[in-house]
Amino acid sequence: MPQYAVLIYAGDAPGDLEMHDRHAAELSGSGRLAAAFALADGSTATSIRGAGITDGPFAESKEVIAGFYVIDASDLDEALAIAGRNPAVRQGGGVEIRAVAGGFVRPPAHG
């Protein structure tokens, strides 16, 4: 089954996190969620372009990537239907859906 990455765009101020937690639980319970990661706020980003290193996100915008997850979906239409339920869509942000071309996830190191 194809996989799609859902990039969550939101303002730097956190929205209703409880809504996001419920959405994550719904996705996890559906068996469609393959991986999910929340990111620290955009002020912690550092970007590298060529030989230059700068503080802040790579692209300047009002929204930053707040997190991302990977879902299993039969096609783009189903991925859009699933991603469209993300609370960010109703909280002034949005989501971007991209087909996954490949990937690897190593379990976190302990110790």
Domains along the chain with CATH numbers: 3-99 (3.30.70.1060)
pLDDT > 80? residue 27: yes
Angle at 92 between CA 13 and CA 80, to 5 degrees: 120
pLDDT of residue 20: 87
On whether the CB atoms of residues 38 and 21 are closer than 8 A, the answer is: no
Q: What confidence tens digit (pLDDT) does each residue in 53-85 have?
A: 999 888 888 888 999 999 999 999 999 999 999
Q: What mean pLDDT is reported for the chain?
A: 90
pTM of the model: 0.87
| 14 confidence band (pLDDT: 50, 70, 90) | low
**Structure tokens, 108:** 């976190």
pLDDT of residue 1: 92
pLDDT > 70? residue 38: yes
Q: Give the CA dihedral 26, 32, 34, 38, nearest 10 degrees.
A: -30
pLDDT > 70? residue 37: yes
What's the average model confidence in pLDDT over 12-18?
A: 74
pLDDT of residue 16: 77
On whether the CB atoms of residues 36 and 24 are closer than 8 A, the answer is: yes
Residue with more model confidence, 33 or 111: 33
User: Rounded to an integer, what is the distance from CA 31 to the centroid of its chain?
Assistant: 17
